[in-house]
Amino acid sequence: MAHATIPNRPLGSDPRSIADILANFDAITTQLNGNLGWENTGTANNGLAKGAFHAFRSAAYVIPATPFIFEQESFDISGWYDVATGQYTPTLAGYYYFNWRITVGNPAGAGEQHASVLVRTGTDYSYGDDIPARGIMAQPHGGSAIVQANGTTHVFRIRMISPIGANAGTGQAITFFSGFMIGKS
């Protein structure tokens, strides 16, 4: 059997065969594939992000209704968003990216504050925009956050802080809540 000399080998060590080198590469490849497979990422083997969803308002909604419910879905890959409650309940522990926007129309008055909040299991987690109303036009209020979820008890929703009487805009590009898993924790 032919032997190949490995450069920078330790002094006094024997040259290794090509078969030994290839066996080491096979072992490394097997180890990498086992640790970096689909099951250890935020992506399913179909290439779609686990837990990916996009929900929106399609009907008029008066603020401040709590929780803010996005009653229509464009898609919900894992079925973790509930259109009846407005809650997203991931069943895998990991890190998640959320993005939301609520467009407020006919605000109550100039100078009134509006803000949107990502809530994790009853506690405010991340505040979106906090913009004074101009009183004359619709304004988008939204935010984004990367959040860790435990996969069992964490529930996410959006709440809106706004004067009574403001209306939320409708449509999947105007008033929405979306997210997806970016990796396991």
CA distance 15 to 7: 9
Looking at the chain, the whole-number percentage of residues with pLDDT higher than 70 is 62
pLDDT in tens, 101-124: 988 775 555 556 677 899 999 999
Residue 30, phi-psi category: left (phi > 0), alpha (psi -120 to 50), beta (remainder): alpha
CA distance 167 to 145: 25
The residue with tokens 């619709």 is 138
pLDDT in tens, 139-178: 778 899 999 999 999 999 998 877 666 777 787 788 899 9
Looking at residue 51, its pLDDT comes to 92
Give the β-pairing of 61-63 and 53-56.
Answer: unpaired
Q: Are 144 and 76 in contact (CB under 8 A)?
A: no
CA distance 175 to 99: 11
Over 60: is that where the pLDDT of 39 sits?
A: no
- Under the banding of pLDDT at 50, 70 and 90, the label for residue 32 is very low
The residue extents of the domains of the chain are 15-42, 53-184
Whole-prediction pTM value? 0.72
Quote the tokens at residue 103: 């467009």
Looking at residue 11, its pLDDT comes to 47
> In CATH, what number does 53-184 get?
2.60.120.40
